[in-house]
Amino acid sequence: MKKKVLSMFLAASMVATLLSGCGSNTAKTAADQLEAEGVGEIPVAEEQAPEETKEATTLDLSKQVDLVFYVMGDAPKDEEKVEAAINEKLLEKCNATIDMQFSTWTEFQQKYANEITAQSADLIYIANWLNYGQLASSGAFVELDDLLDTVAPTLKETVGENALNMCRVDGKIYAVPNTWAEYVSAGVKYREDLREKYNLPVPNSLENLEAYLMGIKENDPSQGLLTATTEESQGFQTGFDAAWALNFKYNWVTQNGLYYGLAANYDTPSDVYDYWYSDDFVDDMKMLKRWADEGFWSKSALSDTNNSESYANGLCVAEVAGQNPNKQITAIMEFKNGGHDDWKSAYVAYGETNGVIYPGHATQNGTAIVNGCKDPERALLVLETLLCDDEMNALIQYGIKGEHYDVVDGIYHNLADEAGESSTFPYEGFNTWNLRNGETKLPQATDVELQKMFDAYEKLGAKTKFPNVNIFDGFSENFESYSAERAAVSNVMSQYLAPLEAGLVTDVDAAVEEFRSKMKEAGIDKCREEYTKQWKAYCDEYGYN
Taking the CB of residue 438, how many other CB atoms lie within 10 A of it?
A: 11
Rounded Cα gap, residues 316 and 14, in angstroms: 22
What is the pLDDT tens value at each position of the chain, 545 positions in all? 333 333 333 333 322 333 333 333 333 344 444 444 433 344 444 444 444 446 677 899 999 999 999 999 999 999 999 999 999 999 999 999 999 999 999 889 899 999 999 999 999 999 988 989 889 999 999 999 999 999 999 999 999 998 999 999 888 999 999 999 899 999 999 999 999 999 999 999 999 999 999 999 999 999 999 988 887 765 666 788 899 999 998 764 555 556 799 888 888 999 988 999 999 999 999 999 999 999 999 999 888 766 778 999 999 999 998 899 999 999 999 999 999 999 999 999 999 998 999 999 999 999 999 999 999 999 999 999 999 999 999 999 999 999 999 999 999 999 999 999 999 999 999 999 999 999 999 999 888 899 999 999 999 999 999 999 888 888 878 899 999 999 999 999 999 999 999 999 999 999 999 999 999 999 999 999 999 999 999 899 888 98
Rounded to an integer, what distance in angstroms lies between the CA atom of residue 287 and that of residue 206? 10
| Cβ contact 325:450 at 8 Å | yes
> Domain extents for the chain?
1-26+186-356+475-545, 41-48+56-181+361-440
The sign of the CA dihedral 405, 411, 417, 420 is negative
Q: 1-26+186-356+475-545 and 41-48+56-181+361-440: same fold? A: yes
pTM (predicted TM-score) = 0.77
User: What residues contact residue 245 under an 8 Å CB cut-off, 6+ apart?
Assistant: 188, 206, 209, 320
Burial classification of residue 303, based on how many CB atoms lie within 10 Å of its CB (0-12 exposed, 13-18 middle, 19 or more buried): exposed
Q: Which amino acid is at 539?
A: C
How much is the pLDDT for 485? 97
Homologous superfamily of 41-48+56-181+361-440:
Periplasmic binding protein-like II (3.40.190.10)
Give the pLDDT confidence score for residue 435 in this predicted structure.
Answer: 98
Residue 458 has a pLDDT of 94
CATH of the domain spanning 1-26+186-356+475-545: 3.40.190.10
Q: How far apart are CA 193 and CA 264, in angstroms?
A: 37
Alpha-helix residue ranges (DSSP H) falling in 252-324: 279-293
The secondary element (H helix, E strand) that includes residue 99 is strand 96-102
Which DSSP helix (H) or strand (E) runs through 101? strand 96-102
